[in-house]
Amino acid sequence: MATYDLVVIGTGPGGYVCAVRAAQLGMKVAVVEKNATLGGTCLNVGCMPSKALLHASEMFEEAGHSFAKMGVSVSAPKLDLPAMMNFKQQGIDGNVKGVEFLMKKNKIDVLKGAGKILGTGKVEISADGKSQVVETKSIVIATGSDIARLKGIEIDETRIVSSTGALSLDKVPGKLLIVGAGVIGLELGSVWHRLGAEVVVVEFLDRILPGMDGEIAKQFQRILEKQGFAFKLGAKVTGVDTSGKTLKATVEPAGGGAAETLEADVVLVCIGRVPYTEGLGLKEAGVALDNRGRVQIDPHFATSVKGVYAIGDVVAGPMLAHKAEDEGVAVAEIIAGQAGHVNYDVIPGVVYTTPEVSSVGKTEEELKQAGVAYTVGKFPFTANGRSKVNQTTDGFVKILADAKTDRVLGVHIIGREAGEMIHEAAVLMEFGGSAEDLARTCHAHPTRSEAIKEAALAVGKRAIHM
């Protein structure tokens, strides 16, 4: 029987990063993966394919709408959807191969098959009707998440799709109805809208992007509406009639009331994700779950069974690849006897639309609710020189600082490249920096990042360009 120091179940960003860090620390490591390829949701049907399509569709739209005003004259772009899907697939393949390479480089065994925990120190791996059992000092569960389903609405991944089907449609739907105005709905809605679909988003709450700063979400909704998105807030889809050529969705007010029917060629259901623990044998092994089906862990990622740990989407916290990665590193270090740690107060979040939305730390609503006295500094991209010359002035930077200490508590950006810009705020916050620290840091000119410095100056009511 093969024996290891660590067996990681799942090779998403949590699992494979954990395996690499553990190997770096001298452990003999194996990963178990039931999917045909490594990389988990993120590489195969999540972050990477969605970003490839967001990039390609943005280029398509820019070629059609923005080139001419810059004096770049091209004939109207034509969509070759199979080629765009091929571009997406090449991106996936490149990244999956990268993970395979990392496994080899770090001498990590890849055990293909479904993993099941038989108790402390034993994992069974089954594939094609055969199974083997390996022994290990520690086990990390990194099995990720699955799509949340809507009762009574069956996802066929052709006409009624989850994010997975929406990443592989074989033609642009005339009408795309999206259920859920969260990150997936707005990112994939953007892809298909740019390629020509009419997009209607039905959202249960009275706002889009719950969890993001309210003021940012409001402006983002206005920008998306200007782009052509239609929103039905405070509403829910209660059924989809699939009998005809066109789908007929029943939409009801969230609080009850008269229903209406919306027609669509494709319905995308994206109402969140749920932890994935199927077939892992957790109940039999005694691994406790919380009331939302997530693997319960202590502050050191330890489950209720000795030597079994869990990280990533399958445990509590934001379902983000970088959160899973950082937990992977931390748990490997803890298992090796070091002080692995994740600072959950400084985990950035990005919506990769145009413009992008990014955020780190507390929102204004969270500070209000916690009774923290804060000051706000804002700066619009309309007053940022680089944004003006590029004519990409949508959005603004918002900094929230402690009213007494000036320590930065949250930074929220809506604007082009907001996803790249957020990291100077994250580093500042990791070091406990103040708005004054940010305001006194020299920023290169002309960059969009100067808007961050100006927003920090605005906390002290002394922005220069406003």
- Environment class of 240 (CB within 10 Å of its CB; exposed 0-12, middle 13-18, buried 19+): buried
Among 49, 115, 180, 410, binds ligand NAI (CB under 6 A): 180
Task: Kindly state whether residue 271 participates in binding ligand FAD, applying the rule CB under 6 A.
Answer: no
Among 32, 142, 223, 351, binds ligand NAI (CB under 6 A): 351
CA–CA gap between residue 414 and residue 385 (Å, rounded): 16
Helix/strand/coil for 361: strand
Minimum Å gap between C-beta 65 and ligand FAD is 24
Q: Which is nearer to ligand NAI, 41 or 384 (CB)?
A: 41
Choices 85-93, 94-102, 140-148, 434-442; region in contact with ligand FAD by CB under 6 A: 140-148
For residue 233, how many other CB atoms are within 10 A of its CB?
15
Task: Kindly state whether residue 13 participates in binding ligand FAD, applying the rule CB under 6 A.
Answer: yes
272, interface contact from ligand NAI, ligand FAD, none, CB < 5-8 Å by kind: ligand NAI
Q: Using the 8-state DSSP alphabet, how is residue 170 labeled?
A: S
Q: In the window 262-291, what residues touch ligand NAI (CB under 6 A)?
A: 270-273
CA–CA gap between residue 311 and residue 291 (Å, rounded): 17
First to last CA, the chain: 69
Task: Kindly state whether residue 182 participates in binding ligand FAD, applying the rule CB under 6 A.
Answer: no
Task: Kindly state whether residue 32 participates in binding ligand FAD, applying the rule CB under 6 A.
Answer: yes
Q: In the window 394-453, what residues touch ligand FAD (CB under 6 A)?
A: none
Q: Which helix (H) or strand (E) holds 47?
A: helix 47-65
| Phi–psi pair at 100, nearest 5 degrees | -60, -45
Choices 4-12, 74-82, 371-379, 401-409; region in contact with ligand FAD by CB under 6 A: 4-12
What type of residue is 451?
A: A
Q: Is 445 among the catalytic positions?
A: yes
Query: What is the pattern of x (binds ligand FAD, CB under 6 A) and - over residues 43-72?
Result: ---xx--x----------------------
CA–CA gap between residue 64 and residue 77 (Å, rounded): 6
Task: Kindly state whether residue 262 participates in binding ligand FAD, applying the rule CB under 6 A.
Answer: no
Q: Which is nearer to ligand FAD, 194 or 386 (CB)?
A: 194
3-state helix, strand, coil in the chain (%, to 5): 35, 25, 40
Do residues 354 and 416 make contact, with C-beta atoms less than 8 angstroms apart? yes
144, interface contact from ligand NAI, ligand FAD, none, CB < 5-8 Å by kind: ligand FAD
CA dist 461 → 4, 401, 435, 464 (Å): 59, 13, 11, 9
Do residues 141 and 123 make contact, with C-beta atoms less than 8 angstroms apart? no
Choices 30-38, 101-109, 213-221, 224-232; region in contact with ligand FAD by CB under 6 A: 30-38
Rg (CA), the chain: 24
CA–CA gap between residue 51 and residue 399 (Å, rounded): 27
CA–CA gap between residue 20 and residue 103 (Å, rounded): 7
Q: Using the 8-state DSSP alphabet, how is residue 265 labeled?
A: S
CA–CA gap between residue 433 and residue 437 (Å, rounded): 6
181, interface contact from ligand FAD, ligand NAI, none, CB < 5-8 Å by kind: ligand NAI
Among 60, 352, 379, 381, binds ligand NAI (CB under 6 A): 352
Minimum Å gap between C-beta 271 and ligand NAI is 4
Helix/strand/coil for 357: strand
The three-point CA angle 290-207-266 to 5° equals 85
Strand 408-415, strand 160-161: pairing: unpaired
Query: What is the pattern of x (binds ligand FAD, CB under 6 A) and - over residues 303-332?
Result: ---------xxx----xxxx-x--------
Query: What is the pattern of x (binds ligand FAD, CB under 6 A) and - over residues 110-129?
Result: ----xx--------------
Among 211, 253, 279, 293, binds ligand FAD (CB under 6 A): 279
276, interface contact from ligand FAD, ligand NAI, none, CB < 5-8 Å by kind: ligand FAD
For residue 387, how many other CB atoms are within 10 A of its CB?
23
210, interface contact from ligand FAD, ligand NAI, none, CB < 5-8 Å by kind: ligand NAI
366-375: burial string, b at 16+ Cβ within 10 Å, e else: ebeeeeeebb
CA–CA gap between residue 53 and residue 409 (Å, rounded): 33
Among 111, 181, 191, 455, binds ligand NAI (CB under 6 A): 181
9, interface contact from ligand NAI, ligand FAD, none, CB < 5-8 Å by kind: ligand FAD
Query: What is the pattern of x (binds ligand NAI, CB under 6 A) and - over residues 80-109?
Result: ------------------------------
114, interface contact from ligand NAI, ligand FAD, none, CB < 5-8 Å by kind: ligand FAD
Do residues 121 and 136 make contact, with C-beta atoms less than 8 angstroms apart? yes
For the annotated catalytic residues, the residue numbers are 445
Task: Give the binding site for ligand NAI (CB under 6 A).
Answer: 150, 179-185, 187, 202-205, 210, 236-237, 270-273, 318-320, 350-352
Task: Give the binding site for ligand FAD (CB under 6 A).
Answer: 9-15, 32-35, 40-42, 46-47, 50, 114-115, 142-145, 163, 184, 276, 279-280, 312-314, 319-322, 324, 352
